[in-house]
Structure 1
Amino acid sequence: MERVVENYILENPEIILRALEVLETRKQEEAQRSRQQALEENRDALFRDQTTPVLGNPDGQLTLVEFFDYQCGYCKEASPGLQQLLERNAEVRLVMKEFPILGQASMTAARAALAAREQDRYEELHWALMAHRGQLDENRIMDIAEEAGLDTEQLREDMGSPHIDEELRRNYALAENLNINSTPTFVTPSAVIPGALPADRLESMLEDQAD
């Protein structure tokens, strides 16, 4: 029987390609099922966590989650499009999941942004950090914060809050549950989409959710 099977494969090598295609399709289907299950299990943490910063309309009907890093070039590429999306669609609710994975400067920037909420300047500092081109360090982050209107002495103090530690831990755990390991990654109620996407593509995906 083994010889028969071997001969058949040798005479019909295209069957290997078909088998690999079937296997890849099954893997993709299984990954999609796992991702959808993870979305359902983590829905509250993703979309309804009251401690997570939200830009745009807090009561909007179209919710988009972004996992991002302030030293990520692709995040910076996506940033102008996200601002355009918020400006032109008043129903978008953008949930900001700080996900510093590119070194100590990323962590410092994330902590500074989260601490800026104490001065009601999260949005200003977020966009300012995203607009910065080049490497970040603590001094440059503080310069950007000052330019964005923050009291940097208070900011440094607030950056040490244990609430920030806990929020970042939750974000890392959530990313692990959803198999997110790169930035930016966007999440809608039915999909996890890695990579920088243009504003019109994001808006189309969100509007599909409302249909």
Structure 2
Amino acid sequence: MKSLLLASVFSFQVALPSFAQEVSDERIKALVAEALRENPELILEALQALEERQAEAQAATATAVLANERDTLERDPNAPVLGNLEGDITVVEFFDYNCPYCKRAMPEVDALLAEDGNIRLVMREWPILSEGSAFAARAALASRKQGKYAELHNALMGMRGKVEADTVLRVAGEIGLDLDRLKADMQAPEIDEHIATSMRLAEALGFNGTPSFVVGDQLVPGFVEKAQLSEIVTSVRASE
């Protein structure tokens, strides 16, 4: 009944054009304000309805992205893969080296990979927090050419404090990377492409922070423990 009242107040100008022409804008505003004063909960109802429509639209968009971008998400040759390269289930992780929740999630993900040896973990570098994050992502991606992505990734994720350019280079040197070659490889166009693709996919899927995961058709935003990830993997595996 209240929703009907609100709809009537907002729509009567359209429904009764001849009457509306005789009513001033000020009077219309006064009628609306009066209805809201008498029924303030209508504002909450309208906002909830708007949020529901937005959530439905985002879910539909995400479903379309998962259908149309599956190969890019799971089989992009320009994205590093950890775990079992031939695994039957693919987990895609969007992350940032300066994200504390990503660092908390890393041992959870590692435990999952240790427990389930049939998982492919696709790494989507998504540096959104700082310039240091962007430098670290570029260095990690460039380290693939020297065969040390996993080593640098783990070392950067294990760092305490903020990750900056100088600390990235220090850690890279400590694990045996050729720094001159690394710096040159960081400027390669495929590095730009990987990061741009991560940005595009994350936005299309409705992710607004790191870490975020994709497992099959399930989107998992935010920090997640190993047990929950394992349940999701089991569910997706059973549905395929």
Band the TM-score falls in, shorter-chain normalisation = 0.7 to 0.9
Q: Give the alignment partner of residue 178 of structure 1, picking from 205, 209, 217.
A: 205
Output the amino acid matched with 1:163: E
**Contact kept in structure 2, 1:66 and 1:96, CA below 8 Å:** yes
User: Which residue of 2 is the match for residue 120 of structure 1?
Assistant: 147
Q: How does 1:77-156 map to 2 (within 5 A)?
A: 77-156=104-183
How much identity, in percent, do the aligned residues show?
Answer: 43
- Larger Rg belongs to: 2
Deviation at 1:2, TM superposition (A): 6.4
TM, length-normalised to structure 1: 0.87
Corresponding position: 1:194 with 2:196:
no
C-alpha deviation, 1:21, in angstroms: 5.7
Of the candidates 12, 32, 53, which is equivalent to residue 80 of structure 2? 53
Q: Contact 2:61–2:204 (CA<8 Å) still a contact in 1?
A: no
Distance 2:52 2:196 in 1: 34
Counterpart AA for 2:138: R
CA drift of 1:20 comes to: 6.3
Runs of 5+ unmatched residues, structure 2: 10-35
User: 1:44-90 deviations in whole A, cap 9, x for unaligned?
Assistant: 11111112100001110111101100011111110111111111111
Find the counterpart in structure 2 of residue 206 from structure 1: 233
Q: Distance in 2 between matches of 1:138 and 1:12?
A: 56
Contact 2:90 2:122 in 1 (8 A): yes
Offset at residue 180 of structure 1 (A) = 2.2
Aligned residue for 1:71? 98
Q: Conserved in 1, the CA contact under 8 Å of 2:140 and 2:153?
A: yes
Query: How many pairs are equivalent?
Result: 210
Q: 1:32, CA displacement in angstroms?
A: 2.1
State the secondary structure of the residue aligned to 1:60: coil
Q: CA RMSD in A?
A: 2.6
| Whole-Å separation in 2 of the counterparts to 1:191 and 1:205 | 8
The question of whether the paired residues in 2 share the 8 Å contact of 1:64 and 1:186 is answered with yes
Runs of 4+ with >3 A deviation: 9-30
Q: Which amino acid aligns with 1:178?
A: L
Greater relative contact order structure (CA < 8 Å, 6+ sep) = 1
| Alignment TM-score, normalising by the size of structure 2 | 0.78
1:118 maps to a residue whose letter is K
- More displaced 10-residue stretch of structure 1: 195-204 or 162-171: 162-171
Q: Unaligned stretches of 5+ in structure 1?
A: none
